[in-house]
Amino acid sequence: MRLLARVTCLMMSLVAGGGWIALSVADDAAEKSPSAESKPAEPEKPFGLTERVPWTTSRVKGSPEPPPPYKLQREYPHLKFDQPIAMVPEPDSNRIFIFEVGGKLLTFEDDPDVSDSVAIFDMKWIDKSIGGSGWGLTLHPNFAENGYAYLFLNVTKRDGQESEHNYIYRIQLTKTNPPQFVRGSETLIVKWATAGHGGGDLAFGPDGYLYIGSGDGTSGSDVDNTGQDLSDFTGSILRIDVDHPSEGKEYSIPPDNPFLDIEGAIPEAWTNGHRQVWRMGFDRETGNLWVGEVGQDLWEMIHLIRRGGNYGWSIYEGSHPFMLEREMGPGKLYKPIVEHPHSESRSITGGYVYRAKKRPEFYGMYIYCDYETGIVWGFRYEDEQVKDHQRLSDSTYKVATFGHDHDRELYLVALSGEIFSLVPSGAPAHAAEEFPRKLSETGLFTSVPEQIPAAGVLPYSVNAPAWVDGAHVQRFVGVPGEEQITYGGHRGWEFPNNTVAAQTLSLEMEAGNPASRRPIETRLLTRQEGEWMAYTYMWNDAGDDADLVGRDGMDRKFQIRDAAEPKGVRQQTWRYAARTECMGCHSRAAKWVLGLNTLQMNRDYDFGGVTDNQIRAWDHIGMFKESPKKSIEELPKLSNPYDESAELNARARSYLHANCSHCHVSDGGGNAKMELEFTSDEKKANIFNIPPNHGNFSIDDGQLIAKGAPERSVILYRLSKLGQGRMPVLGSAVVDEEALKLFRQWVAELPAEGDTTTAAQSAQPEDLNSDVVAKRTAAIKKLLENVSGAMVAVGLVDQEPPASPLRGEIIAAGAAHTNPLVRDLFERFVPEEQRVRRLGPLVRPEQILALTGDAERGRELFFKAAGVQCRDCHKIGDEGRELGPELTHVAKDKDKMKILDTILNPSKEIHKDYVSYIVETKRGQVHAGLLVEKTENEVVLKDNQHELIRISRADIEILQPQDKSLMPEMLLREMTAEQAADLLQFLVELK
């Protein structure tokens, strides 16, 4: 096997049933083997570097943004847990409980110097067949007397059956030190079925009742509207009495639960309209219940929970319309108290109201954070108003929960196993002004245009370069002064503070001509006060310097000369990433610096006349605190995925490692259950003949990797497409065609299991190659009837020469296909400027106003275009329907900007005749619409379906005007800027 000759350090065996080579990699820092020591000495080769030059010119310090007032400080530094998900102090003791995702309950002494914890329970002690996760822990208010602890378990497998259910268990613990689980005490309180978004928290309220947060039970978009359906436990916060069991149940229903009189509603419900409650906490002073709610497309929310409340999902996402056509369930509609767009928050973690003493400035502040971006916020809620809302800290930790100690001091618990508190950052306010705004100011280069590194800054290269949309990459690293790197094996190295790693990316301005390369971006990754931060600089047109890009990033278009394009030129839009985007890949789970590790660095480099192994050369000049204990020949390394002479399996796995494993790794950001590191065995990889967790894109019998069947492999599909669902999610907008060739070959050569016949094979090859156009057209149409067939078709396109008629015919048919799952595979063949570019959620008015619209096309949009809702609510002349204002003369008293502002911000100004009202009946039913009539006997509303709703005045509990328009927000989201300009021009001419 050729791989043996290439990677002599690896012990390899074919895993039964597949072509994934199990690579057993010993710890690089282990002692040398006796065999290695007994080898005869060889003449020493010259070293690539002879002495270390200190790097003393760095000006990359601090941050270009004003520093946040607080930072995360490690507490209980000698402890580390395995995915902790709850932290609760044990009453009347000096111990703290930790509950882990794996279902283990541990306890440790509340001492800063504590060095060990004790496992006292495992969910498998309930049932060895259980598979799933622990999500929540709370203690009974009388725990000191009864020892009752309540666990939230999400069980996906039991008794050999795979089906997802949420379980609430009570267990009893002894009063010993440490406490012990009382065997046989486990009691199932309640369980319910779910299929994703299970919720996952529970807490006792000041009333002594147990509150349980449940999600909508689906994996996306709540297609069954379970959020508004009170017939089951999903999409709700439940409230039960566990101290007074009722007949046949381990609990009873509190008599004041709000939905007891609603036919078909579960009596346990306290609120509804939830998507995914993630962490809940009662304010010990006010009794208010605060929860974090994970959103879907655009928003993350913090809710104040009120009796009988409806929190909108999935009609609303937060306060924003999501699926307004769905039926609203019972309960008064409440908006979030705070909501964050996905530009700054992508997975909210609810916290607590601070009521301790160490940080008096926090007193009364609700503190919460975002799991993905690491940002920590706080606010106070007084007189029904949010006050003092501020960003407290930025961190790179994925905080999954908050906890307390015995003094009620607040802790942030990272899924990676550490516990933190918030302490003042101590950063001077003027530090932001000193951060280099130009690349030439960083101290990294003596010549920026020529990319000559400063003394002490080392250039390097990697074995498996990540795909960066065809750009050429130059790499550098500066370790300050005489500081050293801690060599940590194949998972990654540890770098000292003020280290800077840099990449300069260049694009060929003429495809295929390296001499035409132009630098467009330099990316920096720097460790400051223990935290890694990312910044990017955009090169100027002169190519002599680069400017710091703002924190939200930006896009820039380049024109590339390309002989393969019909017009000889193609457009490429380059994304300068937002800082939070950068840290999506450069994560703690991935050890931050993706290219500076043994697997990538174990290779030769030309040091200017002397070629030497990089690790050997760096070690020789003292870059490492301790030398690797294995010889260079024994160290593992990746293969170059683009080297066709390398072993196929190693190439494919190296590509997955370099491009995917930073998320798809233990504790990584990828939420599919696969680990794609080069060193993972087949079981950990979990991709072969495994159905995807998040949809198969309508691929018949789709598997992550379907052995022997590239057309059924979802990973290959997602690498092949553009648009929604493309992988990787971040950092790339251009399909890597060489990688597709590699993966098609790799998957095809994996030994198939079972029948691999698919509908994709129904097209006859002889018809595709026919000289008769009609036969080819029919064969192409047949092939594109399903996504698997489209995968075969796009593979043919990549194999055909550019001038091939078959290639052009397949592209034309695929790019115009009515099925977007097929069409997305062919979008890369459409010139970028001809692709549909929708405005998306963040619409810039100036983008629309800068265009000259066409009124006639706008009229067609208003009255005839599918998906445009204007005509459903507005009349122009005799056309349309009347729910909102009549628009026949809308431009008579409104200019262009005013009309556009009304469309973009419909709730900014609402005419008194079009104020919407909410009616809540005494039975808890909620209705919304325009107030048509109000008499002594009844109230009449018109809803957004134009239906009249008549409610008896005697049945009305609340009649309340709303400050939110019935007109949906983000109406222009799915339009192009040109379409929006056309629609606007049509309206502007209505005078």
User: What is the residue-averaged pLDDT of the chain?
Assistant: 87
Q: In a 10 Å sphere around its CB, with 0-12 CB exposed, 13-18 middle and 19+ buried, how is residue 597 labelled?
A: buried
Task: Give the integer Cα–Cα distance in Å for 1 and 647.
Answer: 9
Lowest mean pLDDT among 618-632, 733-747, 849-863: 849-863
What is the average pLDDT across 546-566?
92
Q: Is the pLDDT of residue 539 over 70?
A: yes
Task: Give the integer Cα–Cα distance in Å for 338 and 242.
Answer: 32
In angstroms, the Cα distances linking 560 to 64, 506, 511, 569, 796 are 33, 12, 7, 6, 25
**Which of the 8 DSSP states describes residue 648?**
H
Contacts of 818 (CB under 8 A, 6+ apart): none
Q: What pLDDT band is residue 668 in, cutting at 50, 70 and 90?
A: low
What is the average pLDDT across 714-740?
87
10 Å Cβ neighbour count for 479? 24
Task: Give the integer Cα–Cα distance in Å for 17 and 946.
Answer: 61
Percent of the chain at pLDDT > 90 equals 59
Task: Give the integer Cα–Cα distance in Å for 335 and 299.
Answer: 12
**Higher pLDDT pick, 654 / 341:** 654
Whether the Cβ atoms of residue 41 and residue 52 lie closer than 8 Å to each other: no
Q: Is the pLDDT of residue 341 over 90?
A: no
The per-residue pLDDT for range 220-276, each reduced to its tens digit, is 677 788 899 999 999 999 999 999 999 889 999 999 999 999 999 999 999 999 999
> Which tokens is 342 given?
């996905």
What is the average pLDDT across 684-695?
80
**Which of the 8 DSSP states describes residue 45?**
P
Topology at the third CATH level for domain 845-988: SH3 type barrels. (2.30.30)
The pLDDT of residue 862: 85
The pLDDT of residue 12: 30
The per-residue pLDDT for range 474-500, each reduced to its tens digit, is 999 999 999 999 998 667 899 999 999
What is the average pLDDT across 318-326?
84
User: H or E element: which one contains 949?
Assistant: strand 948-952
DSSP string, 712-769: GBHHHHHHH--STT-SSSSS--S--HHHHHHHHHHHHHSPP-S----GGGGS-HHHHT
Lowest mean pLDDT among 659-668, 770-779, 838-847, 871-880: 838-847
Percent of the chain at pLDDT > 70 equals 89
Q: Is the pLDDT of residue 741 over 90?
A: yes
The top-scoring range by mean pLDDT among 289-298, 502-511, 815-824 is 502-511
What is the average pLDDT across 89-113?
97
Q: What pLDDT band is residue 3 in, cutting at 50, 70 and 90?
A: very low
What is the average pLDDT across 575-582?
85
Contacts of 904 (CB under 8 A, 6+ apart): 843, 845, 972
The per-residue pLDDT for range 345-369, each reduced to its tens digit, is 889 999 999 999 999 999 999 999 9
Task: Give the integer Cα–Cα distance in Å for 809 and 777.
Answer: 8
What is the average pLDDT across 706-714?
94
Q: What pLDDT band is residue 921 in, cutting at 50, 70 and 90?
A: confident
What is the average pLDDT across 158-167?
87
Domain ranges (residues) in the chain? 3-38, 435-634, 687-835, 845-988
Q: Is the pLDDT of residue 673 over 90?
A: no
> Which tokens is 270 given?
């306290």
The pLDDT of residue 14: 29
Strand, coil or helix: what is 902?
A: helix
The pLDDT of residue 578: 85
> In degrees rounded to 5, what are phi and psi of residue 937?
-105, -30
Contacts of 235 (CB under 8 A, 6+ apart): 214, 215, 216, 217, 222, 226, 227, 228, 229, 272, 273, 274, 275, 313
Whether the Cβ atoms of residue 287 and residue 327 lie closer than 8 Å to each other: no
Task: Give the integer Cα–Cα distance in Å for 953 and 616.
Answer: 85
The pLDDT of residue 38: 47
Q: Is the pLDDT of residue 535 over 60?
A: yes
Q: What pLDDT band is residue 85 in, cutting at 50, 70 and 90?
A: very high
Q: Is the dihedral of CA 854, 859, 864, 869 positive or negative?
A: positive
The pLDDT of residue 392: 97
Q: Is the pLDDT of residue 36 over 60?
A: no
CB burial string 888-900: b at 16+ within 10 A, e below? bebbeebebeebb
Whether the Cβ atoms of residue 522 and residue 505 lie closer than 8 Å to each other: yes
What is the average pLDDT across 613-630?
95
Question: Does this model's pTM top 0.85?
Answer: no
Q: In a 10 Å sphere around its CB, with 0-12 CB exposed, 13-18 middle and 19+ buried, how is residue 601 labelled?
A: buried
The per-residue pLDDT for range 420-478, each reduced to its tens digit, is 999 998 877 666 788 999 999 999 999 999 999 999 999 999 999 999 999 999 999 99
The pLDDT of residue 579: 84
